[in-house]
Structure 1
Amino acid sequence: MACLFICMILSYLFAFIYKPYYCPKQSFLVHQQDNSAISSLGPTPKKTNLSLIVSNPVPNSVEKTNLSHIVFGIASSAKLWNKRKQYISLWWRPNEMRGNVWLDKHVKVEPNDNGLPHLRISSDTSKFKYKHKEGHRSAIRITSIVSETLRLGMKNVRWFVMGDDDTFFVPDNLVKVLQKYDHNSYYYIGSTSESHLQNIDFSYNMAYGGGGFAISYPLAMALEKMQDKCIQRYPGLYGSDDRIQACMAELGVPLTKEKGFHQFDVYGNLVGLLAAHPIAPLVSLHHLDMEANYIFPNTKDKVAALKRFRRPMKMDSAGLMQQSICYDKNRNWTVSVSWGYVVQIFRGTFLARDMELPERTFVDWRHKADNTAFSFNTRPNSMHKCQIPFVYYISTATTSAATEYLLHKTPLQNCEWQMPTPSQIEIVDVYKTPNPYLWDKPPRRNCCRILPTTKRRTMVIDVGECKEDEIIALR
């Protein structure tokens, strides 16, 4: 009994000593103080809560982000509109997507423009100073597109996505990327330039506008509240995207980098870049209308060239441009498949570690072509005549699982190596089952396998997820 009495006394004392720490009123005050401290750091949206500041996973009960939750703001001008609207028509879905093209002045609306985003005229920005000697003050007008779109008061918006009128988006892949992030939090998502010097001159912390970037709704609200004053503080900056980044710096929001947004500050043959696309969804392509750039050889019509992506993009947007690497063991060839775009066959064995690096078929924005010019690892062009790849560009997408690639014929020098030549292959058939859930899993390169065939002058390849013990190696 004495022991029981002592235990009761100790339990009472323990509860009395620790009671304040569990007081509901005190706990509420702690949360009030936390919110107050956070809101004092700068502008915040109405109904501020910690989820707007701290990154949280999207609750399972919330509807997944889809195209209807995204509003596009596309920067254009009256001078370029008639040409550039052709690029927008390649990816825009009028009955599924929302957005506006922002112009500097009115343009004549053609009957075929009904399937394009709404045209709007930007507000007057003459009150803002612009001092960059090599730029154009239209950059200030474009900087305000996100805020002007927000002021339209559109409902059920989670993300604002900025792009140029010559930016080619892959909408379903954009959605897949944005689904990873909590739209109730502050997010600024995009990517940097391919050119190291461009990033040095501007910023490695900046999302380049041509490649496109996404801003979550609450962050757009915070930006709109302070943007006019922010713009006034940076009259010497060059473009709209570095002004946006300057405002993000003042809000304390870093760039969340996604590798699928492509600024393409490069010149030349883009096959080296696209054939070794990162293991990430292809979200956007930019600068494809430049005369010096081409994705398919001998294509003067840039719009017609991009149209070749529409069929594979519809079949399996998740797999578009994804590289897989395999080996023809009997003939000692290395094969690289960039699905929906190009197949390359190399004589000899190239290791996967080398094949996943883009071959420098291009130069950077300053026309440099060495390994210091780019913001990522590259490999030099194959200089030995026996190591120059045989390139097969997509020709048709025949069924929901089959794509056909035709040899791009170029003058070839005789190779003295004692092995079969890929010139005997004129057609490559690639079979791939569409997988819309590819990016719901941890990233992993697809595998490809050379299949037996009785077709003359044809190689047949199967592409799909790697099996459990499958590796990318000759032996």
Structure 2
Amino acid sequence: MTVSLSKLFFSLIFLTSLFYNFWSLSNLFAPFPFSAIFDQSIKSYQANEAPQALENTSLQHIVFGIAGSASLWSHRKNYIKLWWRPSEMRGIVWLEKQVENDTDNDMLPPIRVSNSTSQQLNNYGFRLSRIVSETFRLGMKDVRWFVMGDDDTVFIPENLVRVLSKYDHNQYYYIGSSSESHMQNIHFSYGMAFGGGGFAISYPLAKALERMQDRCTQRYPALYSSDDRIHACVTELGVPLTKEPGFHQFDIYGNLFGLLTAHPIAPLVSLHHLDVISPILPYGDRFQALEKLKVPMKLDSAALMQQSICYDKPRNWSISVSWGYAVQIYRGIYYPRELVIPARTFLHWYKRSDPHSYAFNTRPVSTNSCQMPFVYVLRNGSFNADKEETNTEYVNNQKLHPPCDWKIADPFQIRRVEVHKKPDPHLWDKAPRRNCCRVQPSKKRNLLVVDVGVCGEGEVIELQ
């Protein structure tokens, strides 16, 4: 009996101890007290430490540094006048010496002479490479981006803002694109932003670059160009190139038509080397042709040059619309995979038509008269307030077209193309995708009407 009571007593003590230990451990790992305290700490941190949302990037946050030459200024300034807005933009044109004041100075950025801080000032590339630092040292307020370009570069300002708005200007960013010439990229670097096409440097990166650029440049005496020197110093800061295909160096000669009608699915940001290419539209000289682009830029800058593809089934036609620029009608059916490849209407930087010399795919211009597209170029545009859509008009300026014996309707009867499109200012806030186009009925035999817009649910670019 004594032994049984002893066993019972020790058993009770053991069970009590076990229950106490289990209760202690359950409280130790109980989720509620600790998670509640942790959640409260997070809320407190978010309330006290999280930065407030910043206003959207605008033109006022961008400072342009434009590289120029005094000897070419009287001619090149006309390119800048096409896109510069004195009341909305900030920037400086940097020349090697002062030029005479002109009556149109109020339509242009202020002009400054590059500082003579080195015996290498007479080296054109060295002088221009310091534009970022010299512009930074002016101490302008509320700057998020420094954008570099040449005096023969035309920017599309709204699209530049759209591109830069995607990136955090508080971080180190070096944004631009490479050359169209494979050999140029090999000679310099595929990782370099070609300066003529323009490139953007965030304020923090410009600040870091200014501190070390003069020392850095001395380490690369053999480098030739300004953008090559910038790339070398940015690389020493550990920053890679962020590529945006809408910056265009245009290291090519001849007619840009093949490139512009098959523009990448990205905002058109800049055009460069305008002195060595043909006028982009058949309206007067280069400046008058570029002036024509102001119409679609005002109507829907986000969509400028964007390609849409559709088919006219009854007539067996393939249609390519490069909005705000040109429309092409092809006899027969050409799949999108082919039409999105630029046709070689141009020569590369070394003035040869070598398909292996480009940094992108190209296709030959057909010599078969039946395969040559009928081309319609922009004539005018307007906005229909009742329908809330743009109406752009394209006309055929080809006086003759080679005869074709195909048993397909002849597009020569079409003298005019109308394209209706609703503007979409948020086009580039979404995943990149081509707009779809649809041929509309028309009572006029010489008129083709096309509607362009966001692709519908399940809509496919195919002959239906």
Structure 1 length normalisation: TM-score? 0.87
1:108 aligned partner: 100
Which position in structure 1 is the counterpart of 2:393? 404
Number of the residue aligned with 2:3: none
1:444 equivalent in alignment to 2:433: yes
CA distance, structure 1, for counterparts of residue 72 and residue 140 of structure 2:
27
Report the CA distance between 1:126 and its aligned residue. Answer: 3.3
Whether the 8 Å contact between 1:125 and 1:140 is mirrored in structure 2 is no
> After superposition, where does 1:232-311 map in structure 2 within 5 Å?
232-290=218-276, 292-297=277-282, 301-311=285-295
* Counterpart code for 2:267: P
Deviation at 1:10? 4.7
Corresponding position: 1:5 with 2:20: yes
Alignment partners' CA distance in 1, 2:154 and 2:268: 10
Once the two structures are superposed, residues 266-305 of structure 1 have per-residue CA deviations (whole angstroms, 9 ceiling, x without a partner) of 1111110000000000000001122x433124x5511111
Pick from 304, 316, 319: which aligns with 1:320? 304
Change (3 A) 1:161 1:189: same
SS in 2 for 1:227: helix
Contact 2:419 2:450 in 1 (8 A): yes
Q: How many residues align?
A: 428
Deviation at 1:14, TM superposition (A): 8.2
Answer whether contact 1:326 1:448 (CA < 8 A) is retained: yes
- Secondary structure of the residue that 1:382 maps to in structure 2? coil
CA contact (8 A) 1:128 1:231 kept: no
Contact 1:91 1:171 in 2 (8 A): yes
Shift of 1:5: 2.2
State the secondary structure of the residue aligned to 2:196: coil
Contact 2:278 2:286 in 1 (8 A): no
- What secondary structure is seen at the aligned counterpart in 2 of 1:111? coil
Query: What is the identity percentage for the equivalent residue pairs of Structure 1 and Structure 2?
Result: 59
Determine whether 1:161 maps to 2:150. Answer: no
Offset of 1:456 from its aligned partner? 3.8
Q: Verify: 1:423 aligned to 2:412, yes or no.
A: yes
> How many Å apart are 1:62 and its aligned residue?
1.5
The structure 1 residue matched to 2:320, chosen from 321, 330, 336, is 336
Name the counterpart of 1:96: 88
1:228 to 214, 220, 226: 214
Q: How many angstroms does 1:60 deviate by?
A: 7.6
Check conservation: 1:347, 1:387, Cα contact below 8 A: yes
Superposed displacement of residue 11, structure 1: 7.0
> Residue 8 of structure 1: CA displacement?
5.6
Residue 163 of structure 2 aligns with an amino acid whose one-letter code is: V
Deviation for aligned residue 1:127 = 2.9
- Structure 1 contact 125–141 (Cα < 8 Å) conserved: no
Which one is further off, 411-420 or 209-218?
411-420
Give the structure 2 partner of residue 413 of structure 1: 402
Q: Secondary structure at the match of 1:315?
A: helix
1:86 matched residue in structure 2? 78
- Higher mean C-alpha displacement, 60-69 vs 244-253: 60-69
Instruction: Provide the C-alpha distance between the structure 1 equivalents of 2:459 and 2:346, rounded to a whole number of angstroms.
Output: 33
Separation in 2, partners of 1:243, 1:276: 32
Query: C-alpha separation between the residues in 2 aligned to 1:198 and 1:59?
Result: 43
Q: Amino acid of the residue matched to residue 169 of structure 1? A: F
Where does residue 363 of structure 2 map in the other structure? 379
Q: CA deviation at 1:242?
A: 0.5
Structure 1 residue 398: deviation in Å?
3.1
- Contact 2:376/2:417 (8 A) holds in 1: yes
**Residue of structure 2 equivalent to 1:453:** 442
- CA distance in structure 1 between the aligned counterparts of 2:51 and 2:444, rounded to whole angstroms: 51
Structure 1 position 360 matched with structure 2 position 352: no
1:470 is aligned, of 450, 459, 464, to 459
Following superposition, the deviation at residue 412 of structure 1 comes to 2.0
User: Letter of the aligned partner of 1:462 in structure 2?
Assistant: D
Distance 1:60 1:469, change over 3 A: farther
Go from structure 1 to structure 2 and tell me whether the alpha carbon gap of 1:459 and 1:252 turns closer, same or farther (over 3 Å shift).
same
Q: Aligned with 1:383: secondary structure?
A: coil
Distance 2:327 2:80 in 1: 27
Q: Secondary structure at the match of 2:70?
A: coil
RMSD (CA atoms): 2.1
- Where do 5+ consecutive residues of structure 1 fail to align? 23-57, 130-135
Q: Which moved more, 1:94-103 or 1:6-15?
A: 6-15
Structure 2 portions without partners, runs of 5+: 1-15, 38-49, 385-389
Q: CA, structure 1 residues 59+86, in 2 after alignment: closer, same or farther (shift >3 Å)?
A: farther
C-alpha distance in structure 2 between counterparts of 1:409 and 1:469, whole Å: 37
Residues 35-55 of structure 1, C-alpha deviation per residue, up to 9 Å, x if partnerless? xxxxxxxxxxxxxxxxxxxxx
Letter in 2 for 1:66: S
Where is the helix percentage greater, Structure 1 or Structure 2? Answer: 2
Distance of 1:14 and 1:59 partners within structure 2: 34
- Whose radius of gyration is greater, 1 or 2? 2
Partner of 1:28: none
Q: Cα–Cα, structure 1 residues 428 and 59, in superposed 2: closer, same or farther, change >3 Å?
A: farther
User: After the TM superposition, which residues 53-68 of structure 1 pair with which residues of structure 2 at under 5 Å, given as runs?
Assistant: 61-68=53-60
Q: CA deviation at 1:152?
A: 0.6
Task: Report 1:112-261 matches (<5 A).
Answer: 112-128=104-120, 137-261=123-247
Alpha-carbon distance in 2 for matches of 1:180, 1:60 = 18
Distance 1:287 1:422 in 2: 34
Distance 1:86 1:13 in 2: 76
Asked whether the 8 Å contact 1:94–1:116 carries over to 2, the reply is yes
The answer to whether the 8 A contact 2:413-2:445 is kept is no
